[in-house]
Structure 1
Amino acid sequence: MENLKKTIKETPPGRFGKFAAYSLLIGVGLGWMIFPIILDFILGKKLALIEGTDTRIIWKKLPPLVTKIYLFNITNSKEVQNGEIPVLDEIGPYCLLAYKEKIGLVDDEESDTVSYSQKSTWYWKSSPDCSQKLTGNEIIVQPNAFLLALLLKAKQDFPTPLLAVVNEALPAIYGKIKDIFLTAKARDLLFDGILINCTERNLLPRAICIAIKQNSKPLVQIAPNVYLFSYLGARNGTVEPYRYTVMRGVNNLLDIGRLVQIDGKTELPFWKGECNRLSGTDSTVFPPHRRQDNTSFTAYSSDLCRVIKGIYDGTDTYKGITGYKYRVTLGEGSRDPNQQCYCSKSSSCKKGILDADVCLGAPLVASFPHFFDASPELERGVTGLNPNKERHSTYAVLEPVSGVPLQARRRIQINIQLKTIRYVPITKKVKRTLCPLFWIEEGFDLDNNFVGMLQNQLLLGMTTMDAFKWCLIVIGSGLAGTSAYLYSKNKRKGLQKIGINQYDNEPNNTDISIIKVTNIDDILNCDDDVSDGTVTVVGAWSGPIKKRRLSRDSLLETGGLF
């Protein structure tokens, strides 16, 4: 330790300054110039959607998504039929596993894109999060969604007087109709289906059935002119009718997953104006370098047939990894000009709801569960809802450097409009309100294998590079501080050593030093402060040195020698 102190004391301050400058320059250069280039190179190799990368494997076939479905049971159907507001009892969750798979992949090297179709399959699964008492055989009372959808569609497309004709044809399809409600098992509503009989040969029922087949997506044909209607059955195990094209991110890292075409078209056919413009990713992968803003999360939702955006909602930690959390909003068309193009009619411009007719093929309305983040009047239209941000919002947590989703919850509620429809007696006393039918949650949590991969192959390297960068900066700062300290200390003493001549013929090999003294009292009272037994003061001056070439026996000419 004493030797170290002596070495530091004897080292010229300028040498510390040089080392400090080198360390700071290397630290800053590596940290803000070289390392980012290396990082982007590594990210490009790991994240690009090309065959062989881990990202492509996960993107192509997502891990099973834990899916929970909640049905709303109406406990006062008779009162609702006579003008009261619905009292809702939430039944669930019913738990399933959802498998999302991209099939028919075709890569285009020239455009750096890959095209695919989407297939979704659900399987019933018991889970600790789900009530073990629910079997799917629970009896649920709900508005007859298929009947009401048919009536609402007829009201929308036909002249009002023709609704009387439609009303006359309904018993041939549904049997005797007493009210607007349907009583069925939970599993029938969700997947197994409600029977729709279109075998009637009379003209009017047959015409209605033809319209039903052409316009309703949730039907599964089980026999000629015989169908089953359910909320999810028609989509289970089937391929979506759309073909998606996304960027692979080989040529541009920030293009990873960006959706550029649907069915070969660069714009959507569902909305008006700017709302038909494609932007963001396909919602299963995101590019790296996410930021703490309201534009870093933009994706296309095939369930809503629209682009959705996430609002930055702070940071969250998942299995030791810090991510940025983004919460999705449906906007408010009545106040936001950028959202008005999603309003097919004035009633769908309210905050937090979306007309899903163009997407689902039925006059239904989408929202977040329990009308979370929606106009308060919607919640007041029914009884039994309790909107909660943690349970009912849609969000995603992304690792900011890589853009890898750490955790996500997608939650959507499907509603139907209850109201009086002229020439349809069973709706005569029904009060106008938006009634929830069910809501669904799909949960994604990055599994331990991929968490370990992310930590070991990316985050550990980033931590090492950061540590190396800051070590160099700290060392440089320390050396700069040491240099400044030594320079300041020498200056305070008022002594500057300007030359040393060592005489080999001196018996004690004594160093002979020339000392400049700025304060005469320092030399008059020097004693041990100036000479420590190894250095002998032989001359002092107070004026400037006249520079000359000196030999071994030269005298040093000065000005003002005393």
Structure 2
Amino acid sequence: MTQCSPRCSFISLLLGMVVSTLTAIICSAVYYNFDELIQKRLTENIVIKPGSPSLAIMVDESKYSYLRVWLFNLTNPLEVEKSAKPKLKTVGPYVYRKYSIFSDKLWSADGRHTTFTYTEKNVFVFDPKLSVGNPEKDTIIAAKIPDFTAVALGKDFLRFSKVRKIMKHFVQPLFKTTVQKYLWGYDDKLLKVCNRFAEDICNSTKVGLFSAKNNSIADPVTIVTGVDDISRLGHILSIKNQSLLDIWAGHYANMINGTTNAFTPPNVQLGTSRFMYSTSVCRSFNFTIRKKVGATNFQEMELYELGPIAETFHSAQDHPSNADFHVNETLGPKNPPSGVFDLSNCLFKKKRRVPIFFSLPYFHKAALEVRNKVDFVGEPQQDLEFTFNIEPKSGIILEGYKHFQLNLFAWGNQVHRGGFYQFPEDIFYPAGRFLEDKVANREIVEALHFKLYRLPSILRILLITLIIYRMRNNLYKQEDPPEKSPTEFII
């Protein structure tokens, strides 16, 4: 049996020490750069490109969000006929599943998948299990959209007594209808008459709050995929091949700032802000990352809550830059008070001029002159707004809650002769409040939590164990003397 000489043993020991030391150095380098390596791997997974998990999530036609609807029912119609303050009670919720179907998908012409273009079709399906009643049978007394519009359009002619008499006979602000018709549309008598004599003005006889939304195909949207710059992941480059909207009065308001869908740039920090674009109201909002919250379906996952900055709902008088969000041709006040803004160009795409205004539910953050014109009865008023809960490492939005209210504006009869006699003062009459919400299920959140937090911790522990093992093994080799050959024991 061949025995290793002392020199051989020394060389073997030295090589073992070198290998162990190099292994320890490599493991240590990996350990100290572990977060950077994980972030690089995360970036590779969240960019939008063919075959990526992000694209699969984005275009998955089986996923859906919810549209929850509460319509305002007038409870004191007889008193309102005598110019009393309207008392409104919500009826609902009526819940619809909103499916988004993506088509006409195109990648950038450079072949590097730096941009992604698509069109989106929205389909709403009623969910009776989550709703309180039957929208086809439940009735409400609500604001009549064509009549509010007719009075607003004819405001300049209402000084003539004959016009006022005609308006008073044919036009009324309130009517009784079903939830289904008020939401998704019905054939209106006034619009039929208008269509007969002025088809270019009244090109349709159907009207409803969301009559143009169901089965509607949105304009093509082009977004940044993050391949070149992960900090711009999900940012909108253009809508209908235009980098500017043609909805608002000012250039800044027409800029398409921020992201859409579920993907935003990663590495979210508390106290910072980022822009997000809402297709519901055709504008960008500046959101502040304001606090930590637990995921609804998996409390171990820590999310950051985003909410709009306070100045978002200020009037132009209080915050002059908000004048950009006025519209050039409005049927309401040119300078709306705090908490409301004209949404007619967004909802009706300039095909019709309708005095319809956005606000938060129950006029939250609106001026007193807006809130004091109606009474909400029957339920506690809540401070509801747009909020999103985002996973900070990846920037993926796991929960979204878009609360808003639609209101019809009418000029007061005392100031503007010929307005609805039921409303002595200018009024933003609430039609309905809405919640578009989407919450990731437990399986998705738990899987994401494992990949982002638990798996890196496990790998980190394995690295530490490997480093300790190599160092310990190296130490033992140094302590063990080289084995002597039998001849060394013979003297």
TM-score, scaled to structure 2: 0.77
Question: For residue 117 of structure 2, what is the amino acid of its counterpart?
Answer: S
Change in 2 beyond 3 A, CA 1:464/1:378: farther
Residue 151 (structure 1) shift? 2.5
Greater shift, 364-373 or 350-359, is seen at: 350-359
Which residues of 2 match residues 307-456 of structure 1 at below 5 A? 307-318=284-295, 319=298, 320-329=300-309, 330-332=312-314, 333-344=316-327, 348-361=335-348, 362-384=354-376, 386-389=380-383, 392-420=384-412, 422=416, 424=418, 426-427=420-421, 430-456=424-450
Question: For residue 400 of structure 1, what is the amino acid of its counterpart?
Answer: P
Which residues of 2 match residues 142-153 of structure 1 at below 5 A? 142-153=142-153
1:212 is the counterpart of 2:202: yes
Change in 2 beyond 3 A, CA 1:75/1:447: same
Output the CA distance in 2 between the equivalents of 1:369 and 1:233: 21
Residue 178 (structure 1) shift? 6.2
Output the CA distance in 2 between the equivalents of 1:166 and 1:447: 57
Contact 2:147–2:171 (CA under 8 A) maintained in structure 1 = no
Question: For residue 435 of structure 2, what is the amino acid of its counterpart?
Answer: E
Output the CA distance in 2 between the equivalents of 1:404 and 1:193: 39
Deviations 1:451-485 (A, max 9, x none): 24313333333334666799999x9xxxxxxxxxx
Instruction: Give 2:114's match in structure 1, choosing from 112, 122, 128.
Output: 112
Contact 1:282–1:301 (CA under 8 A) maintained in structure 2 = yes
Contact 1:340–1:349 (CA under 8 A) maintained in structure 2 = no
Deviations 1:133-168 (A, max 9, x none): 44541221012122102322443xxx4469878767
Output the CA distance in 1 between the equivalents of 2:201 and 2:464: 69
Change in 2 beyond 3 A, CA 1:197/1:404: same
Change in 2 beyond 3 A, CA 1:151/1:47: same
Change in 2 beyond 3 A, CA 1:149/1:434: same
Contact 1:194–1:230 (CA under 8 A) maintained in structure 2 = no
Deviations 1:361-404 (A, max 9, x none): 32211011111233344222211164323xx2221110000011
**Secondary structure at the counterpart of residue 267 of structure 1:** coil
Output the CA distance in 1 between the equivalents of 2:404 and 2:308: 11
For structure 2, list consecutive stretches of 5 or more residues without a partner in the other structure: 1-19, 349-353, 469-491
Which residues of 2 match residues 269-280 of structure 1 at below 5 A? 269-271=246-248, 272-280=250-258
Which residues of 2 match residues 14-413 of structure 1 at below 5 A? 30=30, 34-61=33-60, 63-110=63-110, 112-128=114-130, 130-131=131-132, 133-155=133-155, 159-160=156-157, 177=170, 179-196=172-189, 200=193, 206-213=196-203, 227-240=205-218, 242-271=219-248, 272-296=250-274, 298-318=275-295, 319=298, 320-329=300-309, 330-332=312-314, 333-344=316-327, 348-361=335-348, 362-384=354-376, 386-389=380-383, 392-413=384-405
Output the CA distance in 1 between the equivalents of 2:206 and 2:292: 45
Question: For residue 294 of structure 2, what is the amino acid of its counterpart?
Answer: T
Residue 249 (structure 1) shift? 1.0
Question: For residue 113 of structure 1, what is the amino acid of its counterpart?
Answer: T
Deviations 1:278-309 (A, max 9, x none): 2110243212111112413x211122111012
Residue 236 (structure 1) shift? 0.4
Change in 2 beyond 3 A, CA 1:365/1:35: same
**Secondary structure at the counterpart of residue 233 of structure 1:** coil
Residue 169 (structure 1) shift? 7.3
Residue 405 (structure 1) shift? 1.4
Output the CA distance in 2 between the equivalents of 1:188 and 1:338: 38
Contact 2:159–2:418 (CA under 8 A) maintained in structure 1 = no
Deviations 1:210-229 (A, max 9, x none): 2132xxxxxxx5xxxxx221
Question: For residue 144 of structure 2, what is the amino acid of its counterpart?
Answer: N
Contact 1:94–1:136 (CA under 8 A) maintained in structure 2 = no
Change in 2 beyond 3 A, CA 1:423/1:430: closer
**Secondary structure at the counterpart of residue 257 of structure 2:** coil
Residue 194 (structure 1) shift? 4.0
| Greater Rg by CA | 1
Output the CA distance in 2 between the equivalents of 1:107 and 1:284: 19
Residue 418 (structure 1) shift? 2.8
Residue 35 (structure 1) shift? 2.8
Contact 2:84–2:422 (CA under 8 A) maintained in structure 1 = no
Contact 2:69–2:94 (CA under 8 A) maintained in structure 1 = yes
Output the CA distance in 2 between the equivalents of 1:178 and 1:349: 25
Question: For residue 290 of structure 1, what is the amino acid of its counterpart?
Answer: V
Output the CA distance in 1 between the equivalents of 2:163 and 2:220: 36
Contact 1:102–1:119 (CA under 8 A) maintained in structure 2 = yes
1:13 maps to none
Output the CA distance in 1 between the equivalents of 2:370 and 2:143: 17
**Secondary structure at the counterpart of residue 220 of structure 2:** strand
Contact 1:73–1:142 (CA under 8 A) maintained in structure 2 = yes
Change in 2 beyond 3 A, CA 1:58/1:426: same
2:16 maps to none
Output the CA distance in 2 between the equivalents of 1:456 and 1:348: 51
> How many matched pairs?
426
Change in 2 beyond 3 A, CA 1:471/1:348: farther
TM-score, scaled to structure 1: 0.68
Contact 2:70–2:433 (CA under 8 A) maintained in structure 1 = yes
Which residues of 2 match residues 525-540 of structure 1 at below 5 A? none
Higher relative contact order (CA 8 A, sep 6+): 2
**Secondary structure at the counterpart of residue 82 of structure 1:** coil
Output the CA distance in 1 between the equivalents of 2:356 and 2:465: 60
CA RMSD of aligned residues (A): 3.3
**Secondary structure at the counterpart of residue 106 of structure 2:** strand
Residue 324 (structure 1) shift? 0.3
Output the CA distance in 2 between the equivalents of 1:49 and 1:165: 62
Change in 2 beyond 3 A, CA 1:461/1:411: same
Output the CA distance in 1 between the equivalents of 2:35 and 2:407: 48
Output the CA distance in 1 between the equivalents of 2:135 and 2:252: 45
Contact 1:286–1:404 (CA under 8 A) maintained in structure 2 = yes
Contact 1:312–1:327 (CA under 8 A) maintained in structure 2 = yes
Output the CA distance in 1 between the equivalents of 2:308 and 2:120: 22
Contact 1:49–1:248 (CA under 8 A) maintained in structure 2 = yes
